[in-house]
Structure 1
Amino acid sequence: MKIISVDTLVVDFYRTNLVIVRVHTDEGIVGLGEATLEGKERAVQGAIAEVAEAVVGLDPTRISKILYELARDWYWRGGPVIMTALSSLEMALWDISARDLGVPVSRLLGGATRDRVRAYANGWFSGAVTPEDYAAAARKTVDTGFRGLKWDPFENYDLTITTQQLDRVLAQIDAVRAAVGREVELFIEGHGRFDVRHAIKISKEIAQFDPVWFEEPCPPDNLDALVDIRRASPVPIAAGERWYGRQGFAPALARQAVDFVQPDVTHAGGIAELAFISTLASTSYVGFAPHNPSGPLSTAATLQLGATLPNFRYLEIMATDVPWRPEITNERLVLTDDGDLLIPTGIGLGIEVDLDAIERHPFTPHPMRMFRDAVYDIRPRDERSFFNLESGS
């Protein structure tokens, strides 16, 4: 079997554009991957076009050889654009290999150790402004089956936070905790906003609400700062969505900078690289909780990993999405009433695309807005749930 072409499909997804990669073979098998990178979709498409030139004619089942040589020969290594291009290709190659054998990708990774993973919801708070709004949205989301809620309560704060601003944050978290009780887990997102002093101050204040973690409390490019925060924080620290490859995670693990690692299968190197990062983390008893706010293929690939990795703790998933998400693929996610996502057992990654539906939602520019407007504008007004609810038994 040989690769004959690689192409991309781009779909408007409200806050971003979903980028789907297709790898075509001479035997008619088409593998799918995802290369969604908010605000940088065109750059990623260019990188994928360069990848395509290098892989046409190669055997798609020789995944390790292809990825090693691509990374070696590219020379300008790392970074989100290059690593997203490589990650999406790697996903598609695993999809091809598993389709060729008629098995799910998890079978090629050593086989399933579980049939479900614990999920937490992101994006559930869209449109909320007041603490009462957040409380109502939290109750509604828990009623759909989720037992974990993540959000960024810090508006557009940049490096520092005043006492008055922190009081507003604490009132919001308090309202959510009161609304959902102690049985629901809370995850506080920082989006790399704060300096060391203010991150530590925040962590000490939010500890009263017993969050699972404080995520990315400082910018991702200063490991010394993260180490200082983790040593002083009474709340566990999570990070890693903006680290790339094993080289991005090994120093943080060696220095005990985190309690949870959060590689993204779409950016950190793909399926096999995340499995390697999971193994690194397990040697330090660090939990594995992949970043996953993207589309159907990112979710499918991460779930296949979730089937096989013993230290897999949590999967991030958007509580709702654009109403056309169910139209563009055959994705079918099952959420149990006790907050777990069932792991699909279909062939490959289990995803097929609908080209007609994709064409109805073409590329639309969506620049990143983290420090320019409200973080709560994350879902469209016509947002829809895309889960099937089943009993947890």
Structure 2
Amino acid sequence: MKITDVKVHLVESWRKTRDIGSPWIFVQVHTDEGVVGLGDATNWPGGTIIAQSVEELGKLIIGENPFHIEYLYHRMYYALEQIGQTGAVIAAVSGIEIALWDIVGKVTGQPIYNLIGGPCRDRIRFYSHASNPEECAALAEKGVTAIKAYFPADQLANGERIDSPRSVTLREEKLALEHMRRCREAVGDEVDLCTDVGCRYTTSAAIRIGNRLEEIGLLFYEEPVHPENIDALARVTASVNVPVCVGERRYTRFGFRDLIAAQAVDMIMPDVVRTGGIMETKKIAAMAESYYMQVSPHNPNSALSTTASLHVMANIPNALVLEFVDEKWDAPWRDDLLTDPPVVESGYFRLPEKPGLGTELNMDVVEKYRFKG
């Protein structure tokens, strides 16, 4: 079997980043035996840059055996070393790598999680997003067992986006704490709450807020400071009694290595379409496991990204909970893009059972919502 073509499809999503369209980016790897693998390369902004990267990297693998995933990954990865191996280009690598696994699964008749060691669990827990106590209560009523309640101190009183890093005023601190208390009251003690402050604070402000949040009983406190400064992040983690996590702004196992080795966080949040794909995410999880860290993957992307994440989450022993954007926050056509979208049952995802990823693109829907730029 040989790879004959690599195609990319840009599809309108719900996301706009500073008025820049940020489409979903789907990859198809074609073979001479008619088997087509499907992958997701979505990141934002810069969808057209990622698409061009997929096309360029695709030239490197034409004529190759799609079963040689580790070799092909490294061939693409090291072809990028002069321009950097993160951001848009590693998203392109991720999309192709996922598609290769889909091919192997289809040919062997196995779901991907069986090809990487088999499942450690038969369902995957997820958390959804909420912006207020009412939304938290509604999600809990639907059976969602974990909820990310966004932190109102992320905004100024006039609603403008905060520049970062910054300190926090006493008023903002009180408003944020009261907001989280109300969210906790809305769901009771049976639902896990977490929050994400999006790297908005100085180290001292992040510590101050984190210590106030202890009473809420959070599952995690996400991105209190930018992860580039590992020492600052480690200082926050050591100073607060809530679990600290980062990961969406880190790429490949090399980007996670120092973060994990320094034990600068309590858990990590790799994104399967940002880290390099399925096997790279598994390697990152294995590194974290040796430090007794759990993994909660970043996943505010398409239903295909969710599907790929489910295969990894099924396999890794230190999986905690998967991010999942509730349909209220997403494009109405998200699930329609797949023939077999992820299935939710009482706050958990059912594992895909069909070979490969277990789904296909619905090309009629792709054409209907094709990104025009």
Q: Report whether the alignment pairs 1:18 with 2:1.
A: no
Which residue in the other structure is 1:359 paired with?
367
1:78-97 alignment to 2 at 5 Å?
78-97=85-104
SS in 2 for 1:212: strand
- Which residue of the other structure, out of 299, 310, 335, is the alignment partner of 1:326? 335
Which residue in the other structure is 2:158 paired with?
none
Tell me by how many angstroms 1:364 deviates.
Answer: 5.9
- Which residue of the other structure, out of 157, 165, 176, is the alignment partner of 2:172? 165
Which residue in the other structure is 1:131 paired with?
none
Q: Aligned partner of 2:64: which letter?
A: L
- Which residue of the other structure, out of 330, 344, 358, is the alignment partner of 1:335? 344
- Which residue of the other structure, out of 324, 345, 350, is the alignment partner of 2:358? 350
More displaced 10-residue stretch of structure 1: 152-161 or 13-22:
152-161
Higher relative contact order (CA 8 A, sep 6+): 1
Tell me by how many angstroms 1:332 deviates.
Answer: 3.2
Deviations 1:117-155 (A, max 9, x none): 221112x43xxxxxxxx1111111111110111133123
SS in 1 for 2:71: helix
Runs of at least 5 residues in structure 2 that lack an aligned partner in the other structure = 16-21, 156-160
- Which residue of the other structure, out of 46, 55, 62, is the alignment partner of 1:56? 62
* TM-score where L is the length of structure 1: 0.88
CA contact (8 A) 2:145 2:192 kept: yes
Tell me by how many angstroms 1:361 deviates.
Answer: 1.3
CA contact (8 A) 2:341 2:359 kept: no
CA distance in 1 between partners of 2:332 and 2:69 (Å): 35
Deviations 1:29-49 (A, max 9, x none): 110110111211011011111
Which residue in the other structure is 2:149 paired with?
151
Which residue in the other structure is 1:301 paired with?
308
1:28-177 alignment to 2 at 5 Å?
28-75=34-81, 76-122=83-129, 124-125=130-131, 134-153=132-151, 154-155=154-155, 156-157=161-162, 158-159=164-165, 160-177=167-184
Tell me by how many angstroms 1:73 deviates.
Answer: 2.5
Which residue in the other structure is 1:384 paired with?
none
CA contact (8 A) 1:17 1:364 kept: no
CA distance in 2 between partners of 1:28 and 1:184 (Å): 46
CA distance in 2 between partners of 1:350 and 1:336 (Å): 18
SS in 1 for 2:343: strand
Structure 1 runs of 4+ off > 4 angstroms?
none
Q: Report whether the alignment pairs 1:265 with 2:263.
A: no
* TM-score where L is the length of structure 2: 0.92
Q: Aligned partner of 2:44: which letter?
A: E
CA distance in 1 between partners of 2:189 and 2:216 (Å): 9
User: When the two structures are aligned, how many residues end up with a matched partner?
Assistant: 355
SS in 1 for 2:279: helix
CA distance in 2 between partners of 1:313 and 1:14 (Å): 27
Which residue in the other structure is 1:234 paired with?
241
SS in 1 for 2:110: coil
